Structure 1
Amino acid sequence: MLWNTIKTSLHASLPESEFGLWIKPLECRRQDDQVLELAGPDRFFCAWVEDRYLELIRAKAREVAAIADVRLEVAAQPPLKSERDKGGQLRLPGVSNVAPRYRSLHPAYTFDQFMVGESNILARSACQALASGDSTFGHCLFMNSSTGLGKSHLTQAVVHQVLRSAPSTRLQYLTAQQFSAEMVKSIRANSMEQFSKRYVNDCDMLLVEDVHTLTGKNKTQEELNTILDYLIKSGRRVILTSALAPTKLAGIDEDFRSRMTSGLVTGIQSPDYETRARIIRHKMQSHGLETDEDLVGFMAESMQGDIRRMESAIIGIKAKCCLHKAPPDLSMVREVICGLLGNSVEISGEAIRDLIGRQFRVSVEDLRSRSRKRSVTFPRQIAMYLTRKYTDKSLADIGSMYNRDHSTVLYAIKAITKDMSQRTAVREQVELLCAKLKK
């Protein structure tokens, strides 16, 4: 069959993971001398394939059989014909008639597309284990981070993998707001028994996002606490996410807080420079942009925190490249980033620490260590001085970045200030670092 021949050619051109995830599920609906019609499982899948792979498929089709065009449509999904339940709904024999519940999934939110770094490796490893049914990290995971650092990406990656490797898993994936609204609806309809049964008896895996939004909702906390108690004690898998660490959740019942944190608790921190660079490089390649290392370095230095802003910047750069019909350059990248961040590029304590580490060839671990070597203490003092100068962090906050107390930070600031006034070399070195930060 022609489509099988084209798939063989695509298989040779793509990594195994990409071929298996995005090409293999496509089915040939119709073919003739001019047009090849393919069908994907849903509109999100088709949108991703169209954006990333359709031109490659068309090129292979022209090579193999001189096909003029390749079209992609969403496949019709008729219900599986098997045993009928009492309500007339078709279902497979031996399978619960409670359908899995999960939010709309982003096709790119998979483990393959998640960039791993020191800031997120524990969360990623735990999610991978839970998705695979591995109990190395336990059965319950609580992840917290500020917005845009990958909580939703990891939870959706878990759902993607479970649906692919164990589709019969009774999985419930929703936000805390959805859980609360569903519970209120069930109370009004006098159907709380069915509501509880869905999550207690007919659930193998529960994922609830944004549990920090349950602040003050005592009845919802009580019901979710009961469900978690049963699921955790019976060895079911549970993943919870929050924008705040458990200790910072206000208006949360202590018993509920204790239940949520009965397993592994891990935070996702802002990615370091190297991880940011890999994220930016990967996203630029996926958008078909040239990955000039100077541009990647500038973007990685300029943009910390929210990874969605990196995606937004890259989309903006791609749009300008299409408009001007030219590859990206530094002025174009700077213009896009300034439009996102304002006239001045954001300077954070982490950015300063990364810059100092690269300039003095010292690792973050060394800067946070108890080492008293001059090759470590001097860069550390400069980093503390610059962080105090360019950020609004307190002395205690700066100290925590380097595993020191506020008095050590104060001493470092005074020491660098004195050295700058007495030693020209130190003053010029600090001025050069300041210029790099402002660049």
Structure 2
Amino acid sequence: MVWNAIKSSLLSSLPESEFNLWINPLECRQQDDESIELIGPDRFFCAWVQDHYLNRINAAAQKIGMTPKIKLGVAGKAAAPVVKSTTREQLSLPGMSVDQTRFRSLHPAYTFDQFMVGESNVLAQSACTALATGDRSYGNCLFMNSSTGLGKSHLTQAVVHQVFNAAPGTRLQYLTAQQFTADMVQSLRTNSMEQFSRKYVNSCDMLLLEDVHTLTGKTKTQEELNTILDYLIKSGRRVILTSAVSPNKLKGLDEDFRSRMTSGLVTGIEAPDYETKVRIIDHKLRGHSLNLEDELVDYMARKLNGDIRRMESTIIGLKAKSRLRKQPPDMALIRELLSGMVSAGTADLTTEGIRSFVSEQFKVSTDDLRSRSRKRSITFPRQVGMYLTRKYTKKSLAEIGGAYNRDHSTVLHSVKVITKNMTRQAGTKEQIEMLCTKLKAD
């Protein structure tokens, strides 16, 4: 079989995870010496393969002495000869100009059925599902915020997949705030703001804009986007905005713009709870054809906190090391893998994990840590939590402050206080060092 031979060649030249993600899902519907008809799960998957792997597929075919015409299509639809795209950031739908629809590169696995729902994200998932299907139960404007790696992009891309699969004629704009700014600047330079406005106002049925926290301080972009949002929301168009910081923590924003962005549903996505992490890990293990005992899954769920991408990375590493050593994954291998993710055994430390640790050590609740209380019994643990989070994570001051219901200046002050006291008070220094030792060993 020609396609099997091509796949074997690609498997030897691509990383296994990449092969499993982009080549393995392709199915051969028909093949002969002159052509191969391949089908993928959806048109976006096929577009990505077309742009990033077509040359590799052709090279692999030539390697085995074949030069077939490659046809690529979506399951259930007729395959068509592949024509090389002229852009990697947007596709034109039938009967529509390229200017009318724009979206970022989509991950084929970022769909609703691949999203693990838990208490930490159920409202965001429900709202996105409703907006994707045209249900206005949650309104027509959604603002989602969360730390990195908790599923904002997964949900927004799931919306795009759903919309284009169900209603491919939808005029949709999906891009980052940085891309929006660059587009506006280019339009200003070329005196084409009329076309810019037409694209995002008259010719836009749905706008998905990620990373709006990057617009802080960009007054002109805020003004333009505020005007666009005003029109889209009032005319009933669907809008989804995402941010790494909650709206009330965003600095350098025009208040009218902040009000407009949060005129609909505002919801955060928290780190997954234990049960959700178990389901996520189980799901990703199945995707990598791994089967672990419950004890091992339990250990990973307890150790891997926060960023879901870290779970994926751990499982990929687990599979690779297991194959390399030709032994099934065991506790020793998992411990080794987790301890090596970052130095000093702090691979799994997150803002939420450190806050819970401090809560347990000082016998105060997480609600107390987030409260406005100025009692010494509360303020000191809160300052310690901020200090440890700053020391062991890469979170920004604003993100750390958000975990304790404070702003970035409070975090900076807390770090300075703890650092100063450690140099002047032996008791504080010993206490912090003891906590650091416990935290890394936990």
| Alignment TM class, shorter chain as reference | 0.5 to 0.7
Aligned to 2:280: 279
Q: Does 71-80 or 160-169 show the bigger shift? A: 71-80
Equivalent residues of 1:38, 1:73 under 8 A apart: yes
Give, in whole Å, the separation in 1 of the partners of 2:276 and 2:111.
17
Partner-residue secondary structure (3-state), 2:345 = coil
Unaligned runs of 5+ in 1: 1-21, 49-70, 81-88, 356-365, 370-380, 401-433
1:29 Cα deviation from its structure 2 partner: 3.9
Aligned to 1:126: 127
Equivalent residue runs for 1:287-436 within 5 Å? 287-345=288-346, 346=348, 350-351=352-353, 392=388
1:367 Cα deviation from its structure 2 partner: 9.4
Aligned to 2:186: 185
Aligned to 1:209: 210
Q: Deviations over 1:261-297 (max 9, x none)?
A: 0000000011111111111111011101113211111
Q: Does 337-346 or 170-179 show the bigger shift? A: 337-346
Give, in whole Å, the separation in 2 of the partners of 1:349 and 1:276.
16
Aligned to 1:166: 167
Give, in whole Å, the separation in 2 of the partners of 1:107 and 1:338.
31
Equivalent residue runs for 1:139-154 within 5 Å? 139-154=140-155
Equivalent residues of 1:289, 1:327 under 8 A apart: no
Give, in whole Å, the separation in 1 of the partners of 2:388 and 2:210.
31
Equivalent residues of 1:207, 1:240 under 8 A apart: yes
Normalising by structure 1, report the TM-score.
0.65
Q: Structure 1 246/343 Cα, relative in aligned 2: closer, same or farther at 3 Å?
A: same
Equivalent residues of 1:99, 1:170 under 8 A apart: yes
Q: Does 141-150 or 23-32 show the bigger shift? A: 23-32
Q: Does 100-109 or 23-32 show the bigger shift? A: 23-32
Q: Structure 1 324/303 Cα, relative in aligned 2: closer, same or farther at 3 Å?
A: same
Give, in whole Å, the separation in 2 of the partners of 1:221 and 1:213.
11
Q: Structure 1 96/39 Cα, relative in aligned 2: closer, same or farther at 3 Å?
A: closer
Q: Which amino acid aligns with 2:38?
A: L
Q: Structure 1 79/204 Cα, relative in aligned 2: closer, same or farther at 3 Å?
A: farther
Q: Structure 1 98/350 Cα, relative in aligned 2: closer, same or farther at 3 Å?
A: closer
Q: Which amino acid aligns with 1:38?
A: L
Q: Deviations over 1:167-198 (max 9, x none)?
A: 11110000000000011111111110011001
Structure 2 residue 293 is the aligned partner of structure 1 residue 264: no
Partner-residue secondary structure (3-state), 2:116 = coil
Percent identity among equivalent residues?
Answer: 58
Q: Structure 1 297/77 Cα, relative in aligned 2: closer, same or farther at 3 Å?
A: same
Give, in whole Å, the separation in 1 of the partners of 2:350 and 2:367.
17
Aligned to 2:38: 38
1:25 Cα deviation from its structure 2 partner: 9.4
Aligned to 1:244: 245
Q: Which amino acid aligns with 2:289?
A: G
Give, in whole Å, the separation in 2 of the partners of 1:47 and 1:98.
20
Q: Which amino acid aligns with 1:139?
A: N
Equivalent residue runs for 1:94-105 within 5 Å? 98-105=99-106
Q: Which amino acid aligns with 1:297?
A: D
Partner-residue secondary structure (3-state), 2:112 = coil
Give, in whole Å, the separation in 2 of the partners of 1:391 and 1:79.
55
Q: Structure 1 233/43 Cα, relative in aligned 2: closer, same or farther at 3 Å?
A: closer
Aligned to 2:18: none
Q: Structure 1 397/38 Cα, relative in aligned 2: closer, same or farther at 3 Å?
A: closer
Give, in whole Å, the separation in 2 of the partners of 1:287 and 1:204.
38
Structure 2 residue 205 is the aligned partner of structure 1 residue 221: no
1:224 Cα deviation from its structure 2 partner: 0.6
Q: Structure 1 325/36 Cα, relative in aligned 2: closer, same or farther at 3 Å?
A: farther
Normalising by structure 2, report the TM-score.
0.65
Aligned to 1:57: none
Equivalent residues of 2:37, 2:72 under 8 A apart: no
Q: Which amino acid aligns with 2:101?
A: P
Q: Structure 1 368/328 Cα, relative in aligned 2: closer, same or farther at 3 Å?
A: same
Equivalent residues of 1:140, 1:232 under 8 A apart: yes
Equivalent residues of 2:354, 2:385 under 8 A apart: no
Give, in whole Å, the separation in 2 of the partners of 1:229 and 1:266.
20
Equivalent residues of 2:271, 2:305 under 8 A apart: yes
Unaligned runs of 5+ in 2: 1-22, 50-68, 74-78, 84-91, 358-364, 369-376, 391-400, 406-436
Equivalent residue runs for 1:60-75 within 5 Å? 74-75=72-73
Partner-residue secondary structure (3-state), 2:284 = helix
Aligned to 1:12: none
1:79 Cα deviation from its structure 2 partner: 10
Aligned to 2:115: 114
4+ residue runs over 6 A deviation: 22-25, 352-355, 366-369, 387-391, 396-400, 434-437
Aligned to 1:175: 176
